[in-house]
Structures are given as structure tokens and as C-alpha cells.
A and B are shown apart, each in its own frame.
Chain A
Amino acid sequence: MISSLKIAIRFTLVTTVLLGLLYPLAVTAFAHIAMRDKADGQLLSQNGHVIGSAILGQSFAGDRYFHGRLSAAGNGYDAANSGGTNLAQSSKKLVDRINGDAATYSKTSSADVPIDLVTTSGSGLDPDITPAAALYQVSRVAQARHMDDASLRALVQAHTQGRQFGILGEPRVNVLELNMALDAAH
């Protein structure tokens, strides 16, 4: 028993050094040398300061920008407090929220609002919207920026990512990328 306990203690310490320290630090060192940008979160800079990560969503409220998913991370797109609402499909709060938002959207558009624009994402940091949701917002953004719908629609199409390798996942539009392209173009 005592000798087994001694082995258990030594085993725990030795494997902790191997798997808890050497392994992650080796992977970190490798990542830092070989793929630094990816390993650091694909941070984007403008005028010398970081404006976000290319693969994390951020909050957009103004009419001049395309809006992303609703977010339940902290007070919205808090990238240090990720998560969803966890509201049930049978939750009155959820159904009232979605129907309320849909009613607001219906004042400016006769088309039904795409489901991803009125639902919160799982992470609260979803960087993407569906192509349907991007096209749905074209006329609002075009009006706010005094652009014509057709050129904006072309910009959305240019920033639509297809399925990975043509088969995996779903087509999507990265909202931050699209909005930065919008700023650059106009």
C-alpha cells in the first residue's frame, strides 16, 4: 500500500511535468516559430492599434455597417466571456425576443428576416452571417452610405466564402472583413 502510494505520487509528478508542462510548452514554441499570426489569434491592426481578430465577431450597431449575429457573450461580443443564451425553444422570452426583432425588421423590408439575424450564436462571438443575412441588409447599408445596391451586392458576393473544400460547413460572410472592405471602398 505505502509502496503503491509512493509510486502513485512519483507517477503523478513525472507525468505532470511531461504532459502538463513539456507538451504544451513545446507546442507553444513550435506555434510561435512556425505559425505566429495564427497562434496569436489573427489580430488585425489599423493605424497602429488592434481593432480585433479576423475570426472573432464584434458588435456593429450603426446603419453604415453590416450587422452580425446577436450575442450573449457578456454585454455583447465580450471575447473574454463567451457563451450563448441557453434559452429553450419553449421559452417565452426567446420567442418574444425573436418575434419583436422580426417585427422591427418588417418595417424596413417586406421580405422575411433570415433566422441567423434574429438568433444568438453559440459562442456569442460568431464572426459570420449567412449570405442570405448579408444580402438582406444591402439596401439599408447602401442607403446609409449613398451607394447603389448592385455594387454593394457585388461586394457581398466577393466576400462570400463557400464551403471549405467545396463540401465542409456552410457558405458564410465574415462581417468584420466585409465592413473593413466597405470602409476601404467607400
Chain B
Amino acid sequence: MTANGWLQFVLFFAVLIALMRPLGIYMARVFQGERTFLDPVLHPIESLLYKLCGVNAEEEMGWRQYTGAMLLFSFVSLLLTYLIERLQHILPWNPQHLAGVSPALAWNTAASFTTNTNWQSYVPEVTMSYFTQMVTLAYHNFLSGAVGIAVAITLVRGIARRESKTIGNFWVDCIRGVLYILLPLCLILAPILIGQGVVQNMHAYTQAQTLEHGQQTIAQGPVASQEAIKMLGTNGGGFFNANSAHPFENPTPLTNFLEVLAIFLIPAALTVTLGKMTGSPGHGWAVFACMSVLFCAALVTIYWAESQPHPLLHGVSQSSSALQSGGNMEGKEVRFGIADTALFATATTDASCGAVNAMHDSFTPLGGMVVLANIMLGEIVFGGVGSGLYGMLIYVVLAVFIAGLMVGRTPEYLGKKIEAFDVKMAMLYVLIFPLLILVLTAISVLSPQMGLSSLNNAGPHGLTEILYAFTSGAGNNGSAFAGLNANTNWYNISLGFTMLAGRFLMMIPMLALAGNLAQKKSVPPSPGTFPVNSSLFTVLLTGVIVIVGALTFFPALSLGPILEHLLLHQGSLF
């Protein structure tokens, strides 16, 4: 661990805080349908898009109609992605003449990108044509992000509105999210990435003759445009197999800094949007504070764990000095060292991003455990664009409910009474997640042919590989302990199902909660109301998150990474 490493973390957090407020206020304006400084350029395009899509922008939807539109859109776009993948060999921009994608893999990938997961069972540079990457994968990076933001905004509206039957218009929320937020940010980020060396072209792969007269085939492609939305939309699907470890995706420490910033930018700003739209900025900050505490705890632990020397190596220099960052460098890049890797790994799993700039499978047992635990907490530490905020608000509802139980009053949240239906929906959201992960992991572990034959590592780490896969799928994260060969029928199909369930089965209770909150009356605060903008609330909220997460997943973690750590330090290898 170095002073410079800590300094980079402080710099990162300072820049994040400086940018989140203006963006958060701007997003509140966008979703309240107010005028913004981009209106002169974007308003005519917006109107044209409504006309082309046949959308009546004035019409508002109830939660059932909103959910219906969201599901229909997801179904149609998933189907289109599946078709394009299957037919890519007869479509344009396929300079490497890659074959059509097999059915199981096409299904898995379509589900993966539709749900903002971006789990990748394949090696992109030898599987997906430029056309497929641009038109389906990068496309979903925009829309799955926009859908996440839209759903989060409906929940905020649900809290803010009084006796309202409607929560917004799905099509309008998506178009405004894409047009006013995601696309402009991408148009800023992509050129900077190119300037640093991220490639952006449609050429066939380059054939090089190396200095020692070997041959090297260099994969190319329209990478920067996809990289920008991959990070901003917390998608995380790499253009290349090595994802953001690849020098063509993440060439310099500056691109690394910007990519991590891009993961957190919108999710952090949404806490400001929450405060703004509900008229309670202090509550936005309280939620932000809780996220920050959990973020710092994970970052420090990973940085510490990855800086430790391996106990069983001989004749290897592993300590940090002015000439090397030392620590565990297996699966890591020299330009990032330990500090930038720890920062990236924390952010990508705190959020539902899942891009990686190093191989998580090769992390130390405890470092790997923290990235896994980040996803297990529900990716609510800033979280995915939108999904982070609504996941966090579920825990807020639970925290207020528990506080209400303690003083024996009906819990209130920003003027809304939290009643049985609301808590049921919140619990549904909390329970579906571990149910998917633990049951499917158990099935995989019990089946040598389907589950265990894909393992890259034996012993407790093997269990962690499988556990990580289903956690990543259900959490719509998409990062992997990538040694697991997931391109088999069992994993492609079961993970495809997990990703869809992890997205939609959790979004539906979410939208039901939004709809139910919107139609409630507002009650004025009384002396018995638990204030949700205090530091006491932040402590309670953090406690609820950690306790729910730990109770659910501690047994599984103790059989995986914790056992691995203890055995490794006793000298056992597998």
C-alpha cells in the first residue's frame, strides 16, 4: 500500500462529489419534464422520436401499464438481439467472417445484455461481428441503462407524488434518459478515450510481424463508442475478452480513472436527484453517506488484501517500492498496479457494472470475497444506473419499518405510511435474490457433469467460482471468476434464466411499490416520525444492509473464500 494509492482514492472521491450535484439536479429537471440547457438542440429530436415511435408523450401510465410497456420492450429487443446474433454471418460489418452464434449462447447473450448484466460466456473478438456488437450489444448498453434509470425514477415519483394513480410514461422516461443523459455523456467520454488510445475503426484485424519475427493478429473494432456507454450505463460487457484490462479498451491510468468515474457518476448523482425530487435533500445525502461508508470499507479491504505477499512463493520480490507496486500481480496490469485495480474492482461490483480491469478469479481469497460480497449486498453501493437507487430504497423501506417496530408506530417514509403491502413487496425483492443464487449454486455443485466439469480451480475456490457466477447473474453484474467455463448448455441456459429473473422478478415488485406509494395520502411529520435525513438513519440503514447480507450469505462465503484463505495460509494448495 502506498501513499500515492491513497491519494488517488481521495482524488477520485473528490471529483465524484464535485460532479454528482450538478448532474443530479439536471437529471431531476429531465425527469420532471422541465426545460434544460440542452433543449434547443435536443427538443426537436425528442419530438421527432415520439412521432416515429407513435408515442403520446402527454399520456401518463399506472404501474401495471408501465410494467407492461417495460416487459414488452424488453421482450421485443431481446428477440431482435437473438435474431441478429444468429444471422450475423449474412449481415454487414463482419470482416473476420465470424459464423452465426449458436442458439444457447445467443439466448444467454441476448438475456445478458437486455438485463444490463453483460455476462459474457464467449470470447468477443472471435465470436461477435462489429455489426452485432454495435447494433445489439452497445444498443442494449444504452437502453438497459435507461430502463434502470426510468424504474428508479418511478419509485422516486411514487414517494414524491400525492394521491396519484400514475407514475410516469415508460417510453418518455426511456427516450429522455437516453437523449438528455446517456448520449451527451457518451459524446463527451468517447473522444477522450480515443485520444488516450482506445481504438475506434471498422477495419479487419491487423496482421503484424513482431520484432522477433513472430506473427500477431491484432483485433480491431468500434470500441470507444461502446466503451463509453459500457461504463456510463454500468453495463460492463467488454468489446474484447479481457474487458477493461485490454490496452485497446483501457490504455492509460487516465482512461482507468475516467472509466471508474463513469461507473459511479450517474448512480451517485441519482441520490441528489432523489433529494431534489422528494424535496428532502438531506435524505439524499443520508443515503449517499451510507453508500460511501460501504464503498470505503470494501475499497480499503481489497487494497489491503491484494497488497499482501503470497505466503508460498520463494525467491520472488513482492513488496512495494518506488520501482514496483508489488503485491498480487497475477491477472493484473502493470500500468494500474494494485491501487487502480482495487478501485476498479470495488466500483464495478458496488455498482452492477461488471467490467473488470484485472481477473477477479486470481485475486487473493479475501480480495475476491469482498468483490463477491459487494454483489451479494445487492449492488446498492451507488449501484447500477437506477437499479442501485431502487435497490437501496428497498433497504430504506426496511430500515424505516424496523425503526417503526422498535418504537411501536406505523412507519412513515417522507410523509408516506409504510404498510403491509409495501413491506411485502420489499421483502419479495430481498428474498428472490438469494433464492436464485443459493438454489442454482447448490444444483450446480451437486452435479458433476453439468456443474463441476466447467471448473478451472479446485477446492473451496471452485465453489466460489460457481457461487460468483450465479451471484453475478442474479445481481445483473456480469463480472466473473472467469476461469469457470460458462459456455456450456447448463450454464448458458440457467444463467440466462437467472439474469432475467434477477432483473424482472425484482423490478415488478419495485414498480408495484412505486404505484402503491404514489396513490397514498401524505401525512405531516409528527414527533414520532423517524427522521430519514439524520446520521442516525445512515447508521441504521448501513446496519440493516450488512445484517441482511451477512445473514443470507455468510454460510456460503465461509465454505468458499474464508476456508480458502485459512487453508492457503496453512500451506494447502489445490
A residues sitting closer than 8 Å to B (CB atoms) are 1, 4-12, 14-16, 18-21, 23-24, 27-28, 30-32, 34-35, 38-43, 49-53, 55-62, 65, 69, 73, 77-92, 94-95, 98-99, 102-103, 105-106, 111-116, 118-133, 135, 163-165, 167-172, 176, 179-180, 183
Can you sample 18 A-B contacts with CB below 8 Å? A4-B69, A28-B225, A38-B194, A39-B194, A41-B201, A53-B206, A53-B208, A60-B212, A79-B216, A80-B217, A82-B246, A83-B123, A83-B242, A86-B456, A115-B329, A122-B356, A168-B256, A183-B211
A59 in contact with B212 (CB, 8 Å): yes
- A24-B209 contact given A7-B54, A92-B573, A123-B247, CB 8 Å threshold: no
Whether B359 sits at the interface, judged by CB under 8 Å, is yes
Kindly identify, within residues 245 to 277 of chain B, every residue whose CB is under 8 Å from any CB belonging to chain A: 245-248, 251-254, 256-257
Q: How far is the CA of A105 from the CA of B363 in the complex (A)?
A: 25
Whether B330 sits at the interface, judged by CB under 8 Å, is yes
Shortest Cβ distance from B129 into chain A, in angstroms?
13
- Among A55, A115, A165, A179, find the residue whose CB has the most chain B CB atoms closer than 10 A: A115
| Closest chain B residue to A183, Cβ basis | B211
Contacts of A24 in B (CB 8 A): 134, 138, 222, 225-226
Q: Mark B128-145, 1 if CB is under 8 A from A, else 0.
A: 000000111011001100
Whether B76 sits at the interface, judged by CB under 8 Å, is yes
Q: How far is the CA of A78 from the CA of B240 in the complex (A)?
A: 12
Q: How far is the CA of A41 from the CA of B170 in the complex (A)?
A: 40
Kindly identify, within residues 188 to 203 of chain B, every residue whose CB is under 8 Å from any CB belonging to chain A: 190-191, 194-203
Q: How far is the CA of A133 from the CA of B334 in the complex (A)?
A: 11
Sample of 17 more A-B contacts, CB < 8 Å, known A51-B209, A89-B328, A102-B313: A15-B142, A20-B138, A49-B208, A50-B209, A52-B210, A57-B247, A58-B208, A65-B211, A69-B334, A84-B245, A84-B358, A88-B459, A91-B457, A98-B316, A112-B317, A118-B316, A169-B252
B217 in contact with A78 (CB, 8 Å): yes
| Closest chain B residue to A116, Cβ basis | B329
Q: How far is the CA of A60 from the CA of B212 in the complex (A)?
A: 7
Whether B538 sits at the interface, judged by CB under 8 Å, is no
B241 in contact with A102 (CB, 8 Å): no
| Closest chain A residue to B326, Cβ basis | A115
B201 in contact with A122 (CB, 8 Å): no
Shortest Cβ distance from B392 into chain A, in angstroms?
28
Q: Of the candidates A11, A55, A106, A170, which one forms a contact with B171 in the assembled complex, judged by CB atoms under 8 Å apart? A: A11
Contacts of A15 in B (CB 8 A): 49, 139, 142-143, 174-175, 178
Q: How far is the CA of A95 from the CA of B136 in the complex (A)?
A: 41
Shortest Cβ distance from A96 into chain B, in angstroms?
8
Q: Mark B458-479, 1 if CB is under 8 A from A, else 0.
A: 1111000000000000000000
A52 in contact with B461 (CB, 8 Å): no
Whether B218 sits at the interface, judged by CB under 8 Å, is yes
Shortest Cβ distance from B208 into chain A, in angstroms?
4
| Closest chain B residue to A29, Cβ basis | B200
B52 in contact with A168 (CB, 8 Å): no
Whether B99 sits at the interface, judged by CB under 8 Å, is no
Q: Mark B321-352, 1 if CB is under 8 A from A, else 0.
A: 11111111111111111011000000000000
Q: How far is the CA of A170 from the CA of B573 in the complex (A)?
A: 31
Q: Of the candidates B194, B330, B361, B573, which one forms a contact with A119 in the assembled complex, judged by CB atoms under 8 Å apart? A: B330
| Closest chain A residue to B213, Cβ basis | A51
Q: How far is the CA of A43 from the CA of B203 in the complex (A)?
A: 13
Whether B42 sits at the interface, judged by CB under 8 Å, is no
| Closest chain A residue to B565, Cβ basis | A90
Whether B296 sits at the interface, judged by CB under 8 Å, is no
Whether B220 sits at the interface, judged by CB under 8 Å, is yes
Which of B4-12, B32-40, B150-158, B516-524 contacts the other chain? B4-12
- A81-B483 contact given A87-B456, A88-B361, CB 8 Å threshold: no
Shortest Cβ distance from B43 into chain A, in angstroms?
16
B72 in contact with A43 (CB, 8 Å): no
Whether B365 sits at the interface, judged by CB under 8 Å, is yes
**Which A-B residue pairs are the 9 nearest by beta carbons?**
A169-B253, A86-B483, A122-B245, A170-B337, A168-B253, A82-B242, A132-B323, A123-B242, A20-B135
A89 in contact with B246 (CB, 8 Å): no
Contacts of B431 in A (CB 8 A): none
B334 in contact with A90 (CB, 8 Å): no
| Closest chain A residue to B139, Cβ basis | A20
Whether B572 sits at the interface, judged by CB under 8 Å, is yes
Q: How far is the CA of A4 from the CA of B71 in the complex (A)?
A: 11
Shortest Cβ distance from A170 into chain B, in angstroms?
4
Whether B409 sits at the interface, judged by CB under 8 Å, is no
Q: Of the candidates A5, A27, A56, A115, which one forms a contact with B224 in the assembled complex, judged by CB atoms under 8 Å apart? A: A27
Contacts of A58 in B (CB 8 A): 208, 210-212, 214, 216
| Closest chain B residue to A160, Cβ basis | B323
Whether B55 sits at the interface, judged by CB under 8 Å, is yes
- A169-B572 contact given A78-B217, A112-B317, A118-B316, CB 8 Å threshold: no
A65 in contact with B316 (CB, 8 Å): no
A125 in contact with B253 (CB, 8 Å): no
Q: How far is the CA of A85 from the CA of B483 in the complex (A)?
A: 7
B143 in contact with A8 (CB, 8 Å): no
